[in-house]
Structure 1
């Protein structure tokens, strides 16, 4: 980011005069400042901008909080074009390069983060265990730290581009009434999405930066093509992939593309789909409806994502202080436990553990059997007693990442091909 221009002498005098006037007014009317609560505007997606979270944070932090949730592409476009429209931005790590290049966000000082030392190595180094696969694409740690030359990179420094918090591994869900249950990391495969046996009952997520990787993993697993770097496809590879997808779509292979978690749930509950790209809360919701949908642990590895909380380039003063309070609150324990009940992880899980029951920790993090029914964030049964989380423990899942959500070099080129696929 560029340095701010120096103030001229005239500007400096005006600023000094304004400051003196502000001090005088504060002295004469102290009650005005004392009663004014800061307002924090948070722009992001429905994944984290949930009303229960807003109400709890607002009550505990004594600040007014406005959530503005939207679709991934919509909020990224708004944030990159208008940093004055938000104070904090919550989305995925694949948005970081876009926001940083647009100078829409500013660096976050790690010495103002209460739990920075508790954030685990997955977020800081890419390795949840020493022998883990980091995965292709933009692993979050490669975009985390501000470098001396103004770029983002993996070399540690005192400022970061985002607060690491919510993250997960994604795959696909399948209905065991129609598809025989597979073995995690052995027989379950992304290639199932393109298996002719399920023609007409396969769904994909309608998100260009996500769906393209699900499709690519499926095409490669099925032996239809190979990628030199699946996290950064060439134009020729993108063309080959979409030629495959369009041909399949024209043959009636896909029953549809979903735009939201509730819509993906509906695809299964109405019998439209038996296998689909899926997010964790959708599987929990379907299990809560007693539908036997399994969240696969593909032998090729997961598509992973990492949530990012970014500070607007325009945030300053009391608003900036409120933003740091909110960031610290997110890692304080309760929020991490709340999102664990949706199947998501937090970057300092040991603090969240204090707010989870022993069975909740065993199921969601340790990959062990729960002896009791577990509730989701709505208070409904999401996990039945005796269940073990598909894919196993937190460490197992993040040791098997095939690719991270990424904005590829040829992202702009892939967009019209994605829309061609939708319309074919």
Structure 2
């Protein structure tokens, strides 16, 4: 992917504008306020909190939790947070619960730099759109108060970090596959790894991983995997509960550190994974490969939401924090754990050429690269599984989604976990 092509795909920011604003002047809040941020361990990292406090002149409290716990808090108690950070599958739940308020794009400094992926669901004309809740379907607030793809100044979330997820495997035990060819979601149900498989304990995410696995093994198919019927949900859970009772799964994990511990201890050799967990394991010397399944990835878009109770000076601070996230440094920081930002050219000046080439262009690492923890997670000559930003997002099977059968899925997921 050359520079001209990448600029086209990331918002067509002019080179002159980049040179002039590579290190933008950040607007500080007018008074000392405390901003409460609820989310997961993936983005609520201490270096991010400290840097934001330093740049913005406000006090920031991070309250990280597991996926389900964070979503429960945000959907039931808007007073518990000012900003909520998680995945796109949170949006329908929060919007229906009426615990978040519209975000005004006219108050977002870098709104026009956000790329087409976030606004249309496709990174290129050649890309799969992906089943389920692509970001464009849930981003814009429509005149009737619903969410949809018709552009407006009111949005339900700030599009910021995003990635494609798959499964990770310990290549010292599981034979290394060929990206986009032999690596398959079906490996999660392979009897060779019985008792050594773990799944993320998030119903709307873990279920999709298992649905992709069941389809890859030829055990069932779906009319629309992004919005399964009740009958399809029943059939899927009948299949995966049978596998669980045969001992296929070591268990479920609830946070990235938990997933790292499971593989580091040798309890599992293959599991649902998020990119920071893969990076951490490689930094520990454990050869964890992040698969590029031939069936396509499960994609997600990070959402930054504004509590309905966030008003006055706290709201001003919240907008400052949202703008800070797209100002360059944060995007470069999270690139080192394998995540992308929705206006990547803004972050490029904060990355070395070797970092940019490895994480965004999919080129071999020209030098040792450190993760967000400072440990070397990429050795010279290594290339990122799945290739470039463009290649990875052109191969989406399904987006993280809250389906019409969501409440029924919750009951079936509990049956699976307790089986």
TM-score by length of 1: 0.90
1:315 positional shift = 1.8
- Whether 2:190 is the aligned partner of 1:230: answer no
Instruction: Quote how far apart the aligned CAs of 1:186 are.
Output: 1.0
Q: Is 1:283 matched up with 2:278?
A: yes
Aligned to 1:92: 87
Task: Please name the residue that 2:349 is paired with.
Answer: 354
Match of 2:140 in 1: 145
Alignment pair present for 1:248 and 2:248: no
| 1:200 and 2:195 are equivalent in the alignment | yes
Contact 2:67–2:255 (8 Å) recurs in 1: no
Match among 360, 363, 370 for residue 365 of structure 1: 360
* 1:257 shift after superposition: 1.6
CA distance in 1, matches of 2:176, 2:341: 29
Q: For the residues of structure 1 that align with 2:245 and 2:96, how far apart are their CA atoms?
A: 39
1:403: how far off? 0.8
> Does the 8 Å CA contact 2:139/2:147 hold for their aligned counterparts?
yes
CA distance in 2 between counterparts of 1:264 and 1:136 reads 26
3-state SS of paired residue (1:310): strand
Distance apart, 1:267 and its partner CA: 2.0
Pick the structure with greater CA Rg.
1
Q: Structure 1 residues 295 and 255 mapped into 2: Cα distance closer, same or farther (>3 Å)?
A: same
Question: How far off its partner does 1:62 sit?
Answer: 0.7
Residue deviations 1:93-132, cap 9 Å, x none? 1111121122211111111111111100000111101110
Q: Specify the alignment match of 2:51 in structure 1.
A: 56
Structure 2: 5+ residue runs without aligned partners?
1-28
SS of equivalent residue, structure 1 residue 231: helix
User: What SS does structure 2 have at the residue aligned with 1:167?
Assistant: strand
Counterparts of 2:264 and 2:65 in 1: how far apart (Å)? 25
**Contact between 2:31 and 2:313, CA under 8 Å: does it hold in 1?**
no
1:40 is aligned to 2:39: no
1:178 is displaced (CA, Å) by 2.2
Task: Give the SS at the match of 2:387.
Answer: coil
Classify the secondary structure of the residue corresponding to 1:42: strand
1:335 pairs with 2:330? yes
1:15-414 residue pairs with structure 2 within 5 A?
36-414=31-409
Q: Deviations over 1:133-162 (max 9, x none)?
A: 111110011111111111111111111111
2:166, 2:298 within 8 Å by CA — same for their partners in 1? yes
Offset from partner CA, 1:138-191 (integer Å, 9 cap, x none): 001111111111111111111111100011110011122222211111111101
Distance 2:169 2:57 in 1: 44
- Following superposition, the deviation at residue 36 of structure 1 comes to 5.0
- Indicate the SS of the match to 2:334: helix
Of 326-335 and 243-252, the range deviating more from structure 2: 243-252
CA RMSD, aligned part only?
1.4
| Number of residues of Structure 1 aligned to a counterpart in Structure 2 | 391
The question of whether the paired residues in 1 share the 8 Å contact of 2:160 and 2:326 is answered with: yes
Deviations 1:349-369 (A, max 9, x none): 011111111111111111100
How big is each residue's C-alpha offset from its partner over 1:324-382, in whole Å with a ceiling of 9 and x where there is no partner? 11000000000001111110110000111111111111111111001111001111011
